[in-house]
């Protein structure tokens, strides 16, 4: 407790000294989310994080999240110093979509508009025509479908299948998945729902189709938080990273939240409802990044920046 308080007060001072803003994702440790809020930074979903960093006047952005979020910030504001508590914090979707193979996939389908999830490298974003996050993917694909465009989608297959089903768009897909959301189990979720029949089920669309089918509300982290506030239910079963409970509980102190089950009894899962890379963001690492950015600063290849900026800006403008 004491140690945490000391870290927090030193970080607060450093943020002022360095003219820095702390931008955290909903999946990070609640202590970090609270600190971001207290210091005038933000805690947000991946689209809002990008927007906030883009508009904030701070000279340095501390991105507490995973690598693609830091890269997006650097692509949008190359004049700023963008640092992360650790550059090791990656994402299984990013790892599962190497640029060489993705380029080959795109080359095989030159007639298709390339729509890429934000959870990717700058190189993959540079290859894309459009970037989307889970909060705007549906609207963007709907819009492209109305224009008669055929889509090449990557890398999350669950989100892609969900959007395909909703829009009826002509989509072919890269077969990536998030190791956290891929673990949610249908049978166990049905059993849990039977125990709490009055609970609403909230699902992030990176989850498998059978989980999404059981949902009362599907959406990005921000959209799920909003659903928790707006739905009349007192209980919620939530299929996404458990970091999100901090904000849900804060906004709905009288409601009850349960983690959706990740594995049957006795079974193991690699990442039970918590992203191992988001978990790498700690107070100590944030302090270190503020004291010395060496080895923690995000750089993007400037020859790729222009392409990534174009596809990312399309998303920002569309969803403004």
Site string for ligand SF4, 161-180 (x = CB under 6 A): -----------------xxx
> Are 36 and 43 contacting, i.e. CB atoms less than 8 angstroms apart?
yes
C-beta of 155 vs 261, nearer to ligand 13P: 155
DSSP string, 118-130: SSS-HHHHHH-SE
Q: State yes or no: 97 annotated in a binding site.
A: no
> Are 251 and 43 contacting, i.e. CB atoms less than 8 angstroms apart?
no
Q: Report the distance separating Cα 62 and Cα 248, nearest Å.
A: 24
Among ligand 13P, ligand SF4, none, the one that 46 touches (CB under a kind-dependent 5 to 8 A) is ligand 13P
Q: Residue 210: in which H helix or E strand, if any?
A: helix 209-213
Q: State yes or no: 27 annotated in a binding site.
A: no
Q: Give 25's strand partners.
A: 44
Among ligand SF4, ligand 13P, none, the one that 113 touches (CB under a kind-dependent 5 to 8 A) is none
The minimum distance between CB 174 and ligand SF4, in angstroms, equals 14
Characterize 134-168 residue by residue with b for buried, 16 or more Cβ atoms within 10 angstroms of its Cβ, and e for exposed. Answer: bbbbbebbeebbeeebebbbbbbbbbbbbbbeebe
The minimum distance between CB 43 and ligand SF4, in angstroms, equals 15
The minimum distance between CB 119 and ligand SF4, in angstroms, equals 5
Q: State yes or no: 205 annotated in a binding site.
A: yes
User: Within 10 A of 108 (CB to CB), how many other CB atoms are there?
Assistant: 10
Among ligand 13P, ligand SF4, none, the one that 179 touches (CB under a kind-dependent 5 to 8 A) is ligand SF4
Q: What are phi and psi of 147, to 5 degrees?
A: -80, 0
Residues of this chain that interact with ligand 13P (CB under 6 A) are: 45-47, 119, 133-135, 178, 206, 220-221
Given candidates 41, 241, 273, 290, which one binds ligand SF4 under the rule CB under 6 A?
Answer: 241
Among ligand SF4, ligand 13P, none, the one that 45 touches (CB under a kind-dependent 5 to 8 A) is ligand 13P
Q: State yes or no: 25 annotated in a binding site.
A: yes
Q: Residue 35 is encoded by which pair of tokens?
A: 């600190």
The minimum distance between CB 133 and ligand SF4, in angstroms, equals 11
Q: State yes or no: 313 annotated in a binding site.
A: no
Among ligand 13P, ligand SF4, none, the one that 92 touches (CB under a kind-dependent 5 to 8 A) is ligand SF4
CA 280 to the chain's CA centroid: 15
C-beta of 121 vs 134, nearer to ligand 13P: 134
Radius of gyration of the chain (CA): 19
Among ligand SF4, ligand 13P, none, the one that 129 touches (CB under a kind-dependent 5 to 8 A) is none
Q: State yes or no: 204 annotated in a binding site.
A: yes
> Are 212 and 36 contacting, i.e. CB atoms less than 8 angstroms apart?
no
Q: State yes or no: 274 annotated in a binding site.
A: no
**Which of 133, 161, 116 lies closest to 45 in space, CA to CA?**
133
Given candidates 130, 245, 246, 277, which one binds ligand SF4 under the rule CB under 6 A?
Answer: 277
Q: State yes or no: 206 annotated in a binding site.
A: yes
Q: Is 275 in the site for ligand SF4 (CB under 6 A)?
A: yes
Q: Tell me which residues in 87-116 interact with ligand SF4 (CB under 6 A).
A: 91-93
Residue in the block written with tokens 């609207």: 139
Q: Residue 15: in which H helix or E strand, if any?
A: helix 2-17
C-beta of 15 vs 116, nearer to ligand SF4: 116
Q: State yes or no: 56 annotated in a binding site.
A: no
Q: Report the distance separating Cα 301 and Cα 123, nearest Å.
A: 8
Q: Report the distance separating Cα 181 and Cα 203, nearest Å.
A: 9
Residue list, annotated binding site for [4Fe-4S] cluster: 91, 178, 275
Q: Which residues bind ligand SF4 (CB under 6 A)?
A: 66, 91-93, 119, 178-180, 206, 241, 275, 277-278
């Amino acid at each position: 407790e004491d140690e945490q308080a000391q870290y927090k007060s030193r970080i607060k001072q450093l943020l002022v000294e360095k003219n820095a803003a702390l931008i955290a994702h909903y999946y990070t440790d609640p202590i970090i989310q609270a600190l971001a809020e207290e210091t005038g930074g933000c805690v947000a979903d991946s689209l809002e994080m990008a927007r906030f960093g883009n508009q904030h006047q701070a000279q340095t952005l501390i991105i507490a999240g995973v690598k693609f979020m830091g890269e997006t910030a650097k692509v949008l504001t190359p004049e700023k110093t963008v640092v992360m508590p650790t550059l090791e914090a990656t994402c299984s979707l990013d790892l599962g979509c190497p640029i060489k193979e993705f380029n080959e996939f795109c080359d095989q389908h030159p007639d298709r508009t390339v729509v890429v999830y934000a959870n990717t490298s700058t190189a993959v974003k540079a290859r894309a025509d459009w970037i989307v996050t889970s909060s705007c993917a549906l609207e963007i694909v709907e819009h492209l479908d109305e224009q008669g465009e055929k889509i090449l989608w990557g890398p999350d297959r669950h989100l892609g299948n969900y959007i395909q089903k909703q829009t009826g768009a002509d989509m072919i897909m890269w077969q990536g998945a998030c190791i956290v959301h891929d673990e949610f189990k249908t049978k166990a979720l049905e059993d849990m729902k039977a125990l709490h029949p009055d609970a609403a089920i909230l699902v992030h669309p990176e989850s498998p189709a059978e989980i999404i089918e059981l949902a009362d509300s599907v959406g990005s982290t921000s959209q799920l938080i909003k659903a928790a506030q707006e739905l009349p239910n007192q209980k919620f079963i939530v299929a996404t990273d458990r970091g999100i409970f901090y904000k849900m509980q804060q906004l709905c102190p009288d409601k009850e939240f349960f983690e959706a089950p990740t594995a049957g009894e006795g079974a193991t899962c690699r990442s039970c409802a918590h992203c191992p890379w988001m978990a790498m963001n700690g107070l100590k690492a944030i302090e270190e990044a503020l004291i010395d950015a060496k080895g923690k600063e995000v750089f993007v290849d400037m020859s790729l920046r222009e392409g990534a900026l174009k596809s990312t800006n399309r998303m920002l403008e569309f969803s403004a």
